[in-house]
Amino acid sequence: MSLHASIAAHLREKGHRITSARSTIIAALIQNKNPIAAQDLHRKLLKSAKPPNMVTVYRELKFLEEQGIAQSLRLQDAVRRYHLTPHKGHRHHLVCTSCKSVQPVVMACSDVHTLEQRIGRKNNFTVRSHALEFYGECGACVKKHP
């Protein structure tokens, strides 16, 4: 069963309907591995057979997050970006300050976890999760503007 089909089955099981908008959006998320903003996703879908409304994209992404199928994050700009929930581990991000691309990095968090423990104890704070982003320039942009 394809990823799309298994997500659809999961939703149907919960009593949700697989409409063309929903299907299109899920497909786009599967295809697009990097976190993407609602507006950008909508722009992309304008080329599709039956482009869903901007509002629908917002609502659908929020819905998929509630269902645990997608996750969202915000970087230093105020924009919320969504990506499929990875099967395991959690992601950190490489943000190119030049072309604004956001790229997930899957990596072991063990170093950060050690840090978490230390910081938590020192500050009387119970750490539940963390977010780590690296800002800089991606390979392509370094080539363009050396």
Among 71, 100, 93, 90, which residue's Cα sits nearest to residue 129? 90
Residue of the chain from 76, 87, 88, 145 that contacts a copy of itself (CB under 8 A): 76
For residue 56, state whether it binds DNA (rule: CB under 7 A): yes
Task: Using alpha carbons, list the distances in angstroms from residue 140 to 66, 104, 110, 144.
Answer: 35, 16, 30, 6
Subset of residues 82 to 101 that bind a copy of itself, contact rule: CB under 8 A = 92, 94, 96-97
Residue of the chain from 7, 21, 29, 64 that contacts DNA (CB under 7 A): 21
Nearest approach in angstroms of CB 66 to a copy of itself is 16
Q: Give the residues across from 37 on adjacent strands.
A: 81
User: Is residue 67 within 8 Å of 60, Cβ to Cβ?
Assistant: no
Which residue's CB is nearer to DNA, number 40 or number 116? 40
- Residue 25: CB atoms within 10 A of its CB come to 26
Q: Total number of residues binding a copy of itself (CB under 8 A)?
A: 40
Residue of the chain from 9, 30, 55, 142 that contacts a copy of itself (CB under 8 A): 142
